[in-house]
């Protein structure tokens, strides 16, 4: 079992930056992790993922603005978000699984463990 707890959300102006954190506990070694987001009335979408070997994957909408990273010693996951836009407003979720298909890194169905989410609101 893996427990995930996100933090770092907030309300900011467009163009600002935020850093989200996800603390993983339990049997959290050697897992693939990712960030997803869900805006009201929309489906949950993959934002960024990081494999156990450190390879990163990004949605086109956040590429060059967001950076995913992981502290393997602490099993903590981070999402550095820069140049935030109003369309980035959503609840952001941390997700993890022991084996995610390389072709489906940003597919929510690949992840068994989820955090409770943290709200990010960007005003223009």
Tell me what the pLDDT averaged over the chain comes to: 95
- Confidence at residue 52, expressed as pLDDT on a 0 to 100 scale: 87
- Tell me which DSSP letter residue 17 carries: -
- Confidence at residue 4, expressed as pLDDT on a 0 to 100 scale: 97
If phi > 0 it is left, if psi is from -120 to 50 it is alpha, else beta; for residue 15 that is: left
Percentage, residues of the chain above pLDDT 90: 85
Give the residue-averaged pLDDT of 97-116: 93
Assess contact for 78 and 68: CB atoms under 8 A: yes
Give 10-56 pLDDT, tens digit per residue.
Answer: 999 999 999 999 999 988 888 899 999 999 999 999 999 999 889 99
Give the residue-averaged pLDDT of 95-108: 91
φ, ψ dihedrals at 100, nearest 5°: -110, 135
Cβ neighbours of residue 104 closer than 8 Å, sequence gap 6 or more: 110
């Amino acid at each position: 079992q893996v427990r995930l707890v996100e933090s770092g959300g907030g309300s900011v102006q467009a163009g600002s930056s935020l850093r989200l954190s996800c603390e993983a506990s339990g049997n959290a070694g050697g897992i693939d992790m990712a960030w997803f987001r869900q805006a009201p009335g929309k489906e949950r979408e993959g934002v960024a993922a990081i494999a156990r070997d450190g390879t990163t994957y990004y949605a086109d909408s956040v590429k060059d603005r967001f950076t995913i990273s992981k502290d393997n010693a602490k099993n903590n996951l981070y999402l550095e978000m820069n140049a935030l836009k109003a369309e980035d407003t959503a609840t952001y979720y941390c997700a993890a699984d022991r084996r995610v298909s390389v072709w489906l890194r940003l597919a929510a169905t690949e992840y068994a463990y989820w955090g409770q989410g943290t709200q990010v609101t960007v005003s223009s």
